């Protein structure tokens, strides 16, 4: 089947990715062993205003309710009505073939029945060939193509570009560590994609990347489910981040929280991202190459203040902060935990990991074609166990057979 033509290639990429990860890990461990004296000290205790109870993250006297910023998305008159939603993709012309495959998957498994529009963004103008191939694969839907504003894909004036260049040299042995464009992409996805004028008219988005796959029929509308059930952020895969890429992200977050505790949701998901109530970050995050979310969350006061603080700290360029941990930390701290949703029934593949439902009832209901042995949810490098524990969710029967 044409939709599965990328599968063998991605199996090879999976092995390549794992090999690279092992080599990177060995390199990092060797450096630590040979130079223990240079290891950074543990972060200092969080300082909170004396008039607040000393509890690391949960705020007991919050004056800000982020759900009020989103209340228009969840008004009673919208229940059961078609959500204002779109697919959104940041992609380059040279990724056309992989993008065509992704669009074909979405159309075959879901959008042929719903016809949601699609927004494509690029830091360069799209070619006519790209547009023609995408239109052919997407079917009869509205497609818009947008150019990323230069100011969103360049260095702000408060960044030392020489220091940023030195960082890329120093981190060259880490995946994407020497890449300038990757850092601009992570910063853009963290703080700017939702500001593009083509997204202004939408409340909801579904992020799709080139070269992905879907292996179950998506029978239910995820946008509709989230709108009708007050869900703000949806995901399929969780994973641990490379610690060497975000050395100061958590301390920077703690510094922000120390002076902005009103933004912390009372019933947040701190236990997903920290094993000790926020003293340290356990590196867990939602893999953001798949996201279904409410754009008004990123437009909110809390998230804008947080991103602006991170951006001025410089970690997108002086380290290699990714949009996935940034999104995940923000969602886990600023949202009530019942506003975050795992989609076990959406079988999603992005090299090298797969979400494949191991619950046989779900597998059969959604006509899945993935290999349940490939499911990443319960693997050690995943954070599926941590998420289910933090949400007090029942794990599917036989989940321990998929660990390791």
Confidence (pLDDT) at 62: 64
Confidence (pLDDT) at 63: 74
**Residue 291 annotated among the catalytic residues of the structure:** yes
β-partners of residue 122 are 147
Confidence (pLDDT) at 69: 86
Q: What is the pLDDT of residues 263-283, one digit of tens each?
A: 999 999 999 999 999 999 999
Return all residues near 173 (Cβ < 8 A) that are at least 6 apart.
24, 27
Question: Is residue 360 pLDDT above 80, yes or no?
Answer: yes
Q: What is the pLDDT of residues 56-77, one digit of tens each?
A: 554 445 678 999 889 999 999 9
Strand 143-147 and strand 118-122: pairing? parallel
Residue of 291, 319, 345, 364 with catalytic role: 291
First to last CA, the chain: 32
Number of neighbours of residue 236 by Cβ within 10 angstroms: 26
Return all residues near 116 (Cβ < 8 A) that are at least 6 apart.
85, 86, 87, 141, 206, 223
Q: What is the pLDDT of residues 301-359, one digit of tens each?
A: 999 999 999 999 999 999 999 999 999 999 999 999 999 999 999 999 999 999 999 99
The mean per-residue pLDDT over the stretch 189-198 comes to 98
Phi, psi of 219 (to 5 degrees): -80, -30
Question: Is residue 46 pLDDT above 50, yes or no?
Answer: no
Question: Is residue 102 pLDDT above 70, yes or no?
Answer: yes
Distances (CA, A) of 345 to 101, 247, 292, 358: 21, 34, 14, 9
The mean per-residue pLDDT over the stretch 14-35 comes to 42
All structural domains of the chain with their residue ranges: 2-402
Return all residues near 60 (Cβ < 8 A) that are at least 6 apart.
52, 53, 266
pLDDT more than 70, % of the chain: 85
Phi, psi of 320 (to 5 degrees): -150, 55
Number of neighbours of residue 381 by Cβ within 10 angstroms: 12
Q: Which CATH number fits domain 2-402: 3.50.30.30, 3.90.550.10, 1.10.8.870, 3.40.50.150?
A: 3.90.550.10
């Amino acid at each position: 089947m044409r939709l599965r033509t990328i599968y063998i290639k991605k199996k090879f990429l999976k092995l390549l990715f794992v090999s690279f990860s092992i080599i990177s890990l060995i390199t990092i461990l060797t450096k630590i062993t040979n130079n223990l004296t240079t290891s950074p000290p543990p972060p200092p205790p969080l300082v909170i205003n004396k008039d607040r109870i000393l509890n690391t993250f949960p705020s007991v006297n919050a004056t800000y309710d982020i759900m009020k910023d989103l209340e228009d998305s969840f008004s009673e008159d919208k229940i059961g009505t078609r959500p204002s939603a779109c697919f959104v993709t940041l992609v380059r012309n040279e990724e056309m073939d992989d993008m065509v495959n992704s669009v074909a998957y979405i159309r075959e498994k879901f959008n042929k029945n719903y016809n949601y529009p699609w927004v494509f963004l690029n830091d360069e103008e799209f070619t006519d060939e790209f547009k023609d191939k995408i239109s052919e694969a997407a079917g009869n839907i509205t497609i818009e193509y947008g150019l990323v504003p230069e100011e969103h894909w360049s260095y702000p004036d408060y960044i030392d570009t020489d220091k940023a260049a030195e960082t890329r040299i120093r981190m060259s042995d880490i995946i994407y560590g020497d890449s300038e464009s990757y850092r601009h992409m992570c910063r853009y996805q963290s703080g700017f994609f939702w500001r593009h004028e083509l997204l202004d008219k939408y409340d909801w988005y579904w992020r799709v990347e080139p070269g992905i796959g879907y292996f179950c029929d998506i029978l239910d509308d995820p946008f509709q489910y989230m709108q009708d059930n007050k869900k703000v952020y949806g995901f399929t895969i969780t994973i641990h981040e490379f610690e060497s890429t975000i050395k100061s992200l958590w301390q920077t977050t703690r510094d922000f929280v120390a002076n902005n505790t009103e933004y912390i949701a009372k019933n947040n998901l701190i236990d997903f991202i920290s094993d000790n109530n926020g003293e340290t970050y356990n590196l867990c995050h939602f893999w953001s190459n798949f996201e279904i979310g409410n754009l008004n969350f990123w437009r909110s006061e809390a998230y804008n203040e947080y991103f602006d603080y991170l951006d001025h700290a410089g970690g997108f360029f002086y380290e290699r902060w990714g949009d996935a941990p940034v999104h995940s930390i923000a969602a886990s701290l600023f949202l009530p935990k019942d506003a975050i949703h795992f989609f076990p029934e959406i079988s999603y593949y992005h090299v090298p990991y797969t979400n494949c439902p191991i619950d046989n009832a779900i597998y059969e209901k959604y006509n899945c074609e993935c290999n349940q042995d490939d499911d990443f949810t319960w693997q050690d490098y995943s954070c599926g166990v941590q998420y289910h524990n933090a949400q007090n969710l029942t794990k599917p029967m036989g989940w321990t057979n998929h660990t390791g």
